[in-house]
């Protein structure tokens, strides 16, 4: 395949330097791509697509009339991160999750950070996902965020910036694992020679984390029973739920498979009720227990929250983590890191304007067509305005929404995400990418080397969400620096 | 104030009762289902609080079918009882019996508190939950307009203005049983201009919060010897406002007065939604009948 006609244009390119040279850590891939003729490349792509289709690597798009389930498009050209870059990123992620976990403990106990006026209290006390019912509640081992998927992007200079923290039910780890398996099959020789760090430990590590946070009442000698709780087959990430349960060798259950008796959770089985100690729940707080949160929800388990409150079952992630991935709280994360750890943040935030602060709001309303405006509590690319590309009517509608409910909005200048060579109709073209590494917090904090690189497949698009036309790539963290 | 020692039911409805009372309360809730139901999970907030105005001397909660009962304090320090009935049943009875000693207010004089003190961060942050919209009390335009009508001059003194707001509601809203239901929101009350004690309390919360007075909902009982025509129960609801430098102070907009020793407080919250006396879920047909019987007897 030809790499000579590839244009980096005015973007930071992952593979090419500004003057068109190949970055050293991409040399092996460049050599391999050069030696590949287009037909061979297409053949490999077809094989991978078929394999994904057969094993059901899909996701679901809501509000779409073309059927709900889709193949998650996979691009064959892997994204490569040299070890020195990765080590810094890893330190930054561990620092961030440590601080956020301390923040959650504080918010649900003494609220020192509010009393010290680091964060104006109304932002937290009025946050949609602040669970006042759990004030004073102690979670096992003091861990709130067991699983975290942090979205990183790179700016024009190639600096890694944090775009958002996903602290509730981050998804995508299964694609990280499937992508690796697919790439190994497509390029076995290249993969072997490149000395890539492994990702397949993720399932075992996740299982260890879940076992580690089992209820103290269980004692340390008993092996805890762990299950994965899914909303069911219609959920956008059902494939992932099934995949991870299989990887860990634990049962996958729906709400109706669990019952609560005397503040203990049990799973219905053909041989009777089996106690459940730890639940990896892929259901949001609001739907966990209809007795407590939403009486209209059929997804959850009546009585579950009481079992949790009584300390008889552990939930991962804990209830109430959503307050820390509110996009307004994101703005304060650098201050949160300094406050709890006394350190400077290793990974920087994207500069953010808070619509509830008068000066920021004036600026946002004035410059809306130049900004990216986001709802504070939406995910998956929903509830977002890309000012420079949006039709006027949409900009006006957001202006009204921001005026009506400023607490619910933040704005950022669009970041021209880094680009990566990606197979397109006419060979390789640059497409924008981000990176979601997965962090697990158990006895120690581990970051799986790699993560999910999402790529905006539409030309020029900056939206990488799978629900909005995004695909993904395998992500290689090298053992060395090239 | 010392009142003449006269028989209780000859007292005027408006004169505050200042003598300590010993009250025996029974609160029975009975659900009859159509056919069997199971997996019933419930919470009850039925235990009277103990504070400077009342002591809960005895409390007993009985569930039929019999089942273990647990309790925990919720965010607002109310005692919540929790129980489940997993096996099939066609009726569920929740019966709370309590014995409460009520005492007259003997705190210091209520201080004058102006706007500035209310707007201080210590009040705004500490009482955040009681200053903003909640499920039943949405601080929207209709509520806001009513708040201005109730207090056209704006806030000058917290307690004086609380009473003015309460009197405004009492004067302009008609106590009409069955004109609303347990799910009626404050904004609908503004439109209907009528309601029951729960609605009056919600509306008053909305008006107080609009004027930046921290205000919370109180559920409880009332030794009711002069029933408003149509008033059927001894269950009652009123509100409390926070007066900086003094503490929480109750006001009952339905009867246009400060709660006295006839009142028994069960729980406090942002609104009714936080402190439903009995609530939960079950599996089975949705049709059921609910009977509630509440009695408050004076023992001494």
pLDDT beyond 50 at B9: no
- In the prediction, which pLDDT does A147 show? 98
Q: Are residues B252 and B282 in the same domain?
A: no
Torsional class of A330: left (φ above 0), alpha (ψ -120 to 50), beta (otherwise): alpha
Residue B128 placed within a domain: yes
Domain containing residue B78: 23-103+277-298
Q: Are residues B238 and B161 in the same domain?
A: yes
Q: How many domains does chain A have?
A: 2
Residue B215 placed within a domain: yes
Domain containing residue A128: 85-154+201-341
Note whether A256 contacts B: Cβ–Cβ < 8 A. Answer: no
Among A284, A317, A341, residue at a domain's last position: A341
CATH for A361? 3.30.1490.270
Q: How many CB atoms lie within 10 A of CB B106?
A: 8
Residue A242 placed within a domain: yes
Among residues 275-294 of chain B, which lie with CB inside 8 Å of chain A?
279-281
Q: Are residues B240 and B131 in the same domain?
A: yes
Residue-wise pLDDT tens digits, A206-247 = 999 999 999 988 887 789 999 999 999 888 889 899 999 999
Q: Are residues A304 and A225 in the same domain?
A: yes
CATH for B127? 3.10.620.30
Stretch A106-134: mean pLDDT: 94
Residue A442 placed within a domain: no
Stretch A122-127: mean pLDDT: 91
Stretch B93-116: mean pLDDT: 95
- In the prediction, which pLDDT does A64 show? 52
**ipTM score:** 0.84
Q: How many domains does chain B have?
A: 2
Best CA proximity match to B263, nearest among B106, B105, B107, B102:
B102
Q: What share of chain A is helix, strand, coil (3-state, %, to 5)?
A: 40, 25, 40
Residue B94 placed within a domain: yes
Q: Are residues A308 and A386 in the same domain?
A: no
Among A315, A341, A367, residue at a domain's last position: A341
Q: What is the 3-state secondary structure (H, E, C) of A382-430?
A: CCEEEHHHCCHHHHHHHHHHHHHCHHHEEEECCCCCCEEEEEECCEEEE
Chain A residues close to B74, C-beta within 8 Å: 133
Residue B108 placed within a domain: no
Q: Are residues B42 and B89 in the same domain?
A: yes
Nearest CA in chain B to A114: B125
Q: Are residues B264 and B160 in the same domain?
A: yes
CATH for B80? 2.60.40.2250
Residue A105 placed within a domain: yes
Binary contact (B41, A291; C-beta < 8 A): yes
Residue-wise pLDDT tens digits, B35-93 = 999 989 999 999 999 999 999 999 999 999 999 999 999 999 999 999 999 999 999 99
Nearest CA in chain A to B125: A121
Q: Are residues B264 and B283 in the same domain?
A: no
Residue A228 placed within a domain: yes
Q: Are residues A148 and A224 in the same domain?
A: yes
Residue B3 placed within a domain: no
pLDDT beyond 70 at A295: no
Q: Is A300 helix (H, G, I), strand (E, B) or coil?
A: coil
Token pair 């509608």 is found at: A397
Q: Are residues B250 and B169 in the same domain?
A: yes
Q: Are residues A124 and A226 in the same domain?
A: yes
Q: Are residues A242 and A380 in the same domain?
A: no
Instruction: Report the distance separating Cα B101 and Cα B99, nearest Å.
Output: 7
Binary contact (B128, A310; C-beta < 8 A): no
Q: Are residues B78 and B154 in the same domain?
A: no
Stretch A182-189: mean pLDDT: 93
Residue-wise pLDDT tens digits, B175-213 = 998 899 989 999 999 999 999 999 999 999 999 999 999
Residue-wise pLDDT tens digits, A305-336 = 999 999 999 999 999 999 998 999 999 999 99
Chain A residues close to B269, C-beta within 8 Å: none
Q: Are residues B168 and B84 in the same domain?
A: no
Instruction: Report the distance separating Cα A108 and Cα A135, nearest Å.
Output: 5
Q: Are residues B195 and B262 in the same domain?
A: yes
Q: Are residues B48 and B180 in the same domain?
A: no
- In the prediction, which pLDDT does B6 show? 34
Residue A430 placed within a domain: no
Out of B42, B128, B280, name the one closest to residue A125 (CB): B128
Instruction: Report the distance separating Cα B210 and Cα B230, nearest Å.
Output: 31
Residue-wise pLDDT tens digits, A363-402 = 999 999 999 999 988 766 678 898 888 999 999 999 999 9
Residue B170 placed within a domain: yes
Residue A66 banded pLDDT, cuts 50, 70, 90: low
- Sequence-ordered alpha helix ranges (H) in A187-312: 188-194, 202-212, 238-248, 285-288, 304-309
């Amino acid at each position: 395949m030809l790499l000579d006609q590839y244009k980096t244009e005015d973007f930071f390119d992952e593979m090419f330097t500004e003057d068109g040279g190949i970055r050293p850590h991409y040399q092996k891939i460049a050599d391999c791509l050069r030696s590949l003729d287009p037909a061979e490349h297409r053949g490999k792509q077809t094989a991978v697509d078929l394999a994904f289709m057969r094993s059901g690597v899909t996701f679901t798009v809501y509000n779409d009339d073309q059927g709900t389930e889709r193949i998650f498009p996979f691009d064959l050209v892997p994204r490569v991160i040299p070890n020195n870059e990765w080590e810094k990123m890893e330190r930054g992620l561990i620092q961030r999750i440590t601080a956020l976990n301390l923040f959650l403990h504080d918010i649900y106990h003494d609220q020192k950070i509010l009393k010290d006026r680091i964060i104006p209290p109304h932002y937290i006390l009025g946050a949609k996902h602040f669970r006042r019912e759990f004030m004073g509640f102690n979670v096992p081992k003091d861990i709130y965020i067991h699983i975290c998927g942090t979205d990183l992007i790179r700016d024009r200079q190639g600096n890694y910036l944090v775009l958002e923290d996903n602290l509730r039910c981050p998804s995508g780890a299964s694609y990280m694992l499937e992508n690796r398996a697919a790439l190994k099959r497509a390029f076995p020789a290249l993969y072997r020679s490149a000395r890539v760090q492994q990702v397949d430990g993720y399932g075992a590590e996740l299982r260890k984390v879940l076992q580690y946070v089992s209820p103290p009442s269980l004692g340390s000698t008993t092996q805890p029973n762990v299950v994965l709780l899914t909303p069911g087959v219609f959920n956008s990430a059902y494939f992932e739920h099934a995949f991870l349960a299989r990887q860990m060798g634990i049962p996958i259950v729906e709400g109706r498979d669990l019952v609560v008796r005397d503040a203990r959770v049990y799973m219905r089985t053909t041989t009777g009720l089996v106690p459940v100690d730890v639940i990896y729940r892929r259901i949001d707080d609001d739907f966990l227990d209809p007795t407590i949160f939403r009486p209209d929800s059929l997804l959850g388990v009546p009585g579950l929250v009481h079992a949790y409150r009584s300390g008889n079952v552990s939930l991962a992630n804990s209830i109430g983590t959503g307050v820390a991935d509110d996009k307004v709280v994101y703005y304060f994360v650098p201050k949160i890191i300094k406050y709890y750890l006394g350190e400077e943040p290793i990974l920087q935030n994207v500069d953010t304007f808070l619509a509830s602060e008068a000066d920021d709001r004036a600026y946002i309303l004035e410059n809306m067509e130049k900004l990216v405006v986001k709802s504070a509590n939406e995910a998956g690319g929903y509830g977002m305005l890309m000012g420079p590309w949006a039709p006027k009517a949409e900009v006006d509608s957001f202006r009204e929404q921001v005026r009506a409910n400023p607490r619910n909005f933040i704005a950022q200048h669009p970041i021209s995400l880094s680009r990566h060579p990606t197979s397109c109709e006419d060979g390789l073209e640059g497409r924008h990418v981000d990176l979601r590494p997965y962090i697990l917090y158990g006895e120690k904090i581990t970051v799986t080397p790699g993560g999910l690189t999402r790529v905006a497949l539409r030309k020029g698009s900056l939206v990488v969400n799978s629900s909005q036309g995004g695909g993904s790539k395998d992500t290689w963290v090298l053992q060395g620096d090239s | 104030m010392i009142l003449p020692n006269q028989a209780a039911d000859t007292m005027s409805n408006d004169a505050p009762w200042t003598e300590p009372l010993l009250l025996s309360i029974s609160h029975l809730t009975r659900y009859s289902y159509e056919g069997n139901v199971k997996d019933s999970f419930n919470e009850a907030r039925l235990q009277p609080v103990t504070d400077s105005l009342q002591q809960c001397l005895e409390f007993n909660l009985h569930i039929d079918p019999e089942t273990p009962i647990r309790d925990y304090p919720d965010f607002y320090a109310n005692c919540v009882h929790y129980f489940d009935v997993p096996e099939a049943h066609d009726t569920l009875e929740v019966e709370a019996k309590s014995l409460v000693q009520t005492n007259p207010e003997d705190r210091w004089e209520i201080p004058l508190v102006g706007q500035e003190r209310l707007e201080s961060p210590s009040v705004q942050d500490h009482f955040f939950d009681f200053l903003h919209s909640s499920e039943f009390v949405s601080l929207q335009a209709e509520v806001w307009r009513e708040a201005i009508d109730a207090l056209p001059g704006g806030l000058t003194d917290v307690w004086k203005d609380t009473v003015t707001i309460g009197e405004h509601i009492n004067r302009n809203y008609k106590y009409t049983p069955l004109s609303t239901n347990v799910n009626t929101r404050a904004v609908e009350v503004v439109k209907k201009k009528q309601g029951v004690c729960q609605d009056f309390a919600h509306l008053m919360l909305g008006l107080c919060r609009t004027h930046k007075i921290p205000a919370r909902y109180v559920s409880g009982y009332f030794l009711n010897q002069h029933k408003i025509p149509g008033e059927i129960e001894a269950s009652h609801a009123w509100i409390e406002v926070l007066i900086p430098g003094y503490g929480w102070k109750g006001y009952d907009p339905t009867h246009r007065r400060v709660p006295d020793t006839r009142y028994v407080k069960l729980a406090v919250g942002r609104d009714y939604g936080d402190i439903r006396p009995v609530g939960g879920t079950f599996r089975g047909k949705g049709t059921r009948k609910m009977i509630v019987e509440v009695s408050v007897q004076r023992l001494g």
